[in-house]
A and B are shown apart, each in its own frame.
Chain A
Amino acid sequence: MAGDAVWYEAAQVVGITNALNVAASALDVVGAVDEAAAPPETHALFAEIRDFYQCADVPASFRCIAHDAAYAADVWATTRHAFADHRLARRFKEALAFAVSVTSRSASGAALHLSQMRRFGVGPRGVMEIFGVTQMFSSYTKIADTLQLEPDMGEIAPADPSPAPDDAAP
């Protein structure tokens, strides 16, 4: 996990996962889009999402934000990019998203990413590994916060001197 590029990639997964979980948690309040009455672009979007996740049901977050098709399409493009295989593999990204969802108490996010972890070959032991790391660091973080510990391990990792990538967008 050396170099900054993998951390940027992980941060994208963490950020968009949290954003999707936030939307999913509001499903009961905002309500799901009526797919039957939705415009063609929403049907196309949902078809792409179903294909990406290989599941019949579109995740709650997208059913919730699809009331604005153009907005949902942009969020989907962001999600698809974040979860695609780049330096980090989709299998690991789903595990990362599972940890984020468990930590933020998102039942729908945890269920979605657990199913995706399994689809990408993670077995019961691997699930427990991620669950264990999530639980233990939910302990360490609260101990650190209670005692207001200050960061003191930054020196372990050397700084990455490489420039921003050529495809950096404004």
Chain B
Amino acid sequence: MPTVRLRAAAEYPSSAQKLFALSSAWFNHEFAEPPAMSRVMAWDSGFGTPHGRAMKRAMAPGEFTRGEKEMVAAAVSGVNACEY
């Protein structure tokens, strides 16, 4: 069970709704509720916005494809023993 109460998207201000729309576009998936991590990142835009930008820069296609980078991310998550 999460340490914090994850707020529904409707509980966030309008500025966060744009972040949730970007999240859907990023995953190319319509979520019933934005993923928990998106809602965590939207809690404090001073942290979440630059963190999200850094992630998108890192994940953008370059010498490696987005798909390859998603696989690297999964491996890193596995090594970190992160179930999420």
Residues of A whose CB lies within 8 Å of any CB of B are 1, 6-7, 10, 13-14, 18, 92, 95-96, 99-100, 103-104, 122-123, 125-126, 129-130, 132-153, 155-156
Contacts and interface: CB of A to CB of B under 8 A. Distances in A.
Contacts of B37: 140, 143-144, 149
B3 A99 contact: no
Contacts of A134: 72, 76
Contacts of A150: 1-2, 36, 83-84
Contacts, number: 126
B17 to A, nearest CB: 19
Interface of B: 1-4, 6, 27, 29, 35-37, 40, 51, 54-55, 57-59, 62-64, 67-80, 82-84
Q: Which one of B51, B74, B82 has the greatest number of beta carbons of chain A within 10 Å? A: B82
Contacts of B71: 1, 6-7, 10, 96
B80 A142 contact: yes
Given A148-B3, A149-B84, A156 B79 contact: no
